[in-house]
Amino acid sequence: MKKISYLLIALFLVPTLFLTSCDKGDDTGVDATPAFTLMKDYVINNNLDIDKIITNTDGEKFVVGPPATAEDVPAYIAKYTILDIRSAEAFAAGHIEGAKNISFSNILTEGAAAAKPVLMVCYSGQTACYATALMRMYGYSHTKALKWGMSGWNSALASGWNAKIGAEEAKGHANWTTESAPTNLTFADPVFSTLSTDGATIFKNQVEKAVATGFKTASGTDVLNNPNNYFINNYFNATDYSSFGHVDGSYRILPLKLADNSYKGLDPASNAKVVTYCYTGQTSAVVTACLNVLGYDAYSLTYGMNGLYNTNTAWASNQWGGDSNPKDLPLAQ
């Protein structure tokens, strides 16, 4: 009888041990390397840190402006595979000659099929910049976004930008301040579960997950009225942080690189909505894409400073209606 009892115990224990040994998440035993660390090492060693996404190793920025004149358009569009991620209705109403209308969820598939560097196109440039960052992280490092989107290509499509800059919500708002930035804190790394122990695979899976989720945004109205609901990071230089003013309580954590650990100033907690804002919402879209891939719950503030306070006297560049205005380049239908 004892032998039978021992045999029964063994039969129950073996499956339990087998299932336990298959867990490859961050809690896989005392000596297991956290998934974030594996991914971090891969990102640094393969020139995929945030600075290399903003400007690739060939010195190409993530965004490119439209051509100067209609005569320049043929040579301009010949350089790219143009992917337009606007709605089918908006695309039919007017698009760049040769562009292909696709859904955001298909950007990685279309990137693999592209014969030339990809130019991502959207309404305002913001979603295209988010897509561009994800494409660059996935290996399509020469992908660029059309600055200002179709709003900058033709004035007939600029209604979104033109309407948004009139709000001037930050002007005179109680939560808009010129006080010094709060002292940056130091947080632990994000934690997430994965069955992989390979940094490249983890990173690839995180990019795919971010694409499937889509562009995560926060409105200037909500952030300005409810700053305590967010962990806010202002992606300005120190001079502009003071001269423009900023949302009360905004940190200034730059450049968010893994290599120098500046990213550790961000709170990875699941209840900490990390919202980044810049001048146009385009750089913050890139930053937000990178942060979501790294495991943060990250959001880009739409339209950036232009949406909050377009008439601010501190502008030197990237001001919609100031140094930046829509062109009247040709549209295909």
Q: What is the pTM of this model?
A: 0.91
Task: Tell me what pLDDT residue 37 has.
Answer: 98
Helix (H/G/I), strand (E/B), else coil: 233: strand
Higher confidence at residue 136 or residue 160? 136
Cβ neighbour number for residue 181 with a 10 Å cutoff: 17
Q: How many angstroms from the chain centroid is the CA of residue 1? A: 65
Residue 177's CB is within 10 A of a number of other CB atoms, namely 14
Query: How far is residue 287's CA from residue 190's CA, in Å, rounded to a whole number?
Result: 16
- Give the chain's domains with CATH numbers: 47-164 (3.40.250.10), 176-309 (3.40.250.10)
Burial group, residue 93, by CB count within 10 angstroms (0-12, 13-18, 19+): middle
CB atoms within 10 A of CB 87: 12
pLDDT of residue 277: 98
H/E stretch holding 177: strand 176-177
> What are 240-292's pLDDT values in tens digits?
999 999 999 999 999 999 999 999 999 999 999 999 999 999 999 999 999 99
Give the pLDDT mean for 199-220. 98
Provide mean pLDDT across the span 99-116: 98
pLDDT value for 167? 85
Paired tokens of 7:
């045999």
Q: Please say if the pLDDT value at position 113 is more than 70.
A: yes
Q: Is the pLDDT of residue 42 over 60?
A: yes
Q: In this prediction, what percent of the chain has a pLDDT beyond 70? A: 91
Question: CB burial class (10 A; 0-12, 13-18, 19+) of residue 149?
Answer: buried
Q: Please determine, for residue 25, whether its predicted confidence score (pLDDT) is greater than 90.
A: no
pLDDT at 15 over 50: no
pLDDT in tens, 62-90: 999 999 999 999 999 999 999 999 999 99
Q: If DSSP codes are grouped into helix, strand and coil, which group holds residue 230? A: coil
CA 104/CA 214 separation, integer angstroms: 7
d(C-alpha 144, C-alpha 114), whole Å: 13
pLDDT at 114 over 50: yes
Q: Quickly state the pLDDT bin for 133 (edges 50, 70, 90).
A: very high
Query: Which residue is listed with tokens 């969820």?
Result: 105
**232 burial type by CB count under 10 A (0-12 exposed, 13-18 middle, 19+ buried):** buried
**Adjacent-strand bridge partners of 111:** none
* Distance from C-alpha of 71 to C-alpha of 68, rounded to nearest angstrom: 8
The pLDDT value recorded for residue 2 is 40
Which pLDDT tens digit goes with each residue over 138-189?
999 999 999 999 999 999 999 989 988 988 999 999 999 999 999 999 999 9
Provide the 3-class DSSP secondary structure of residue 57. Answer: coil
Q: Is the pLDDT of residue 21 over 70?
A: no
CB 80 within 8 A of CB 114: no
CA distance 130 to 299: 11
Q: What is the pLDDT of residue 31?
A: 60
The whole-number average pLDDT for the span 193-221 is 97
Q: Helices in 114-198 by DSSP H: which ranges?
A: 126-137, 149-153, 159-164
Query: What pLDDT score was predicted for residue 203?
Result: 98
* Mean pLDDT, all residues of the chain: 92
pLDDT reading at 19 higher than 80: no
Cβ atoms of 176 and 246 closer than 8 Å: yes
